[in-house]
Structure 1
Amino acid sequence: MYKVFVNDCPIILTDNKKISTGFQKIEFKSITVLKIVEDFFQDNCKEIYLLCDNVEKCWEQFKLNFTIQEAAGGKVLNTTKDVLFIYRFNKWDLPKGKLEKGESIEQCAVREVEEECGITDLKIEKQLQTTYHIFVREEKFILKITYWFLMHSNYTGKLTPQTEEGITKVVFKDEIATEKALLNTYENIKQLF
């Protein structure tokens, strides 16, 4: 199954044709991918299930409609298990950024967290799920594929937001503050919690 967000609404590719849902279900082979995405950008859809005979084959066909942008980021915990958040565009988010040429996804994730937050001493513990979302740039649909990693840091210095990236705050949040932040974040970020 693949869940791709457009304006926080999911397009779900699945091979489970008996899935129980109140949302629209359509056979993948009968749709035009870009028409569905355009409808989502016009707020005409809330959630849709694209039913596939072979989900991997459908996923490869789905991706052909977009320019692919790969990124990586981290869900970073400190010694007290607080979570590192950034605040950008009036939403709480996790640090992430674009993969550079010749860079592994792990290197990208560490570099982006360091750059966006002014933190060091990052150690990757494990890979988390990959998230997908579609946005428009210069009249092109971009499918952003973000690889996420659970990280740990013993860093206790001052956190510094990368303001040139639109980040205005960087903070570690405890469990209660994290729950509150998740009320004002993106749906693909909620999947990581």
Structure 2
Amino acid sequence: MFTERVGQIIFFIIPVMIIVGVVNAIGRAIGAFIGQTLVSNSLLETQWYAFSLVFLLGAGYALKYGEHVRVDVFYSSWTPKRKALIDFLGAVLFLIPFSIIVIVVSIPWVSNSWAILEMSGDPGGLPRYPIKTMVIVCFVLLIIQGISEAIKNLAVLTGAKDQLEEARHGADIAI
């Protein structure tokens, strides 16, 4: 449910990103034509922030729906249990530990950014500390979704998912 809410947030960020991108492109084209600067650094950075938010917040959402990168040439022909085993091991051995490492390494970087209230190096640019914080948020969300996926895959491996589906199917018939 939480991941769904994050997906809804992304749903609203994407049009903002597109609109800001179009305004930037049109502003630069018209500005070049008339010899004036019509696009500010803050507008350019807003587009960059929106893209970053879509990517960072969308990582856990993509994981939930299996939209992340895989070697589908092999994966698509595997049995559900083999897929579950690979996904379980991938989450437990790679995704979760890597996410923890990124969080630990990022904390001093983000803390320093907050301590100095880091701003963009460009005139009229936006603060950097909020977007840097989203790196940690992204990997926390990935850990949460990774644990969820590991539990689901463990249920497939142990047969608990089949039992749950049978129980649900039986309940549907009884109603």
Which structure's relative contact order is higher, taking Cα pairs within 8 Å and 6+ residues apart? 2
Is TM (by shorter chain) over 0.5? no
Task: Report the structure, 1 or 2, having the larger strand content.
Answer: 1
TM-score band w.r.t. shorter chain:
under 0.3
Task: Report the structure, 1 or 2, having the larger helix content.
Answer: 2
